[in-house]
Amino acid sequence: MISEVLYEHDDFLVIDKPAGIGMHQEAEQPGIVTLLSQQLGGQPLWPVHRLDKVTSGALLLAKNAEAAALLSGQFAERQVEKFYLALSDKKPNKKQGAVIGDMQKARRGQWKLLPSTLSPAISQFFSSGLGNGLRLFIIKPRTGKTHQIRVMLKSLGSANLGDSLYAGTPSDRTYLHAFALQFEYRGQQHQIVSVPRYGQYFTEARCQQALQDLLSPWQLPWPHLNLKRTAL
């Protein structure tokens, strides 16, 4: 089995995407959409958002074109709340707050954060120490820029553990996981949580115990952001 189905609706499903598989075919390696369609007996699927190849966790896919259009529109209008988990072995320059700034392509496939805010990436986060030299981040991105969270962590001085592209300490995987989604579809509220199951440090008892306090991330005291003051 390529991926576990976390939640299934007549019009969409949410899977637990493994790390190391891209969204679409790369050279001879099929993408997650093709692999999952094969796993489900040829079920047509439409991706309505994307996760980086190195990122695991909750991925929403539509089962028909109408649902794909509706759900893609909700992502575009920022009506879907997304929450991510990350680990770093480097202390951040602040333990919680927001990181806001424009992003620009850099060298070797990297992106970098700029001090300007013409069309910024916006992420809020809380972090806590796990007592073993690691820090756990829970992140609420308010936008969906390429590599947004990875660049945010690098800007905090806490590059993602295992993220070689952004100078993270080498590890068995990049420790970035799509933890939860909250959205409304045709008048019904949906809340889906994906607890990470792979990776030496995600599966350690102290990390799994810390996650028990985060299983309803939409209820955390996220400060209000006055986005009207920021050009989007």
pLDDT in tens, 79-135: 999 999 999 999 999 999 999 999 999 998 899 999 999 999 999 999 999 988 999
Catalytic residues: 52
Predicted pLDDT at 232: 37
pTM: 0.94
CB atoms < 10 A from the CB of 125, how many? Answer: 24
- Give the start-to-end residue ranges of the domains of the chain: 4-220
Phi then psi for residue 37, to 5 deg, are -60, -40
Tokens of 60: 């929403």
Alpha-carbon distance 232 to 228, whole Å? 8
pLDDT in tens, 61-75: 999 999 999 999 999
Is the pLDDT score of 228 beyond 70?
no
CATH 3.30.2350.10 holds for 4-220: yes
Average pLDDT over residues 163-176: 96
pLDDT in tens, 201-212: 999 999 999 999
Per the rule left: phi > 0, alpha: psi between -120 and 50, beta: everything else, 119 is beta
3-class state of residue 183 by DSSP: strand
Alpha-carbon distance 85 to 161, whole Å? 12
Q: Are 81 and 186 in contact (CB under 8 A)?
A: no
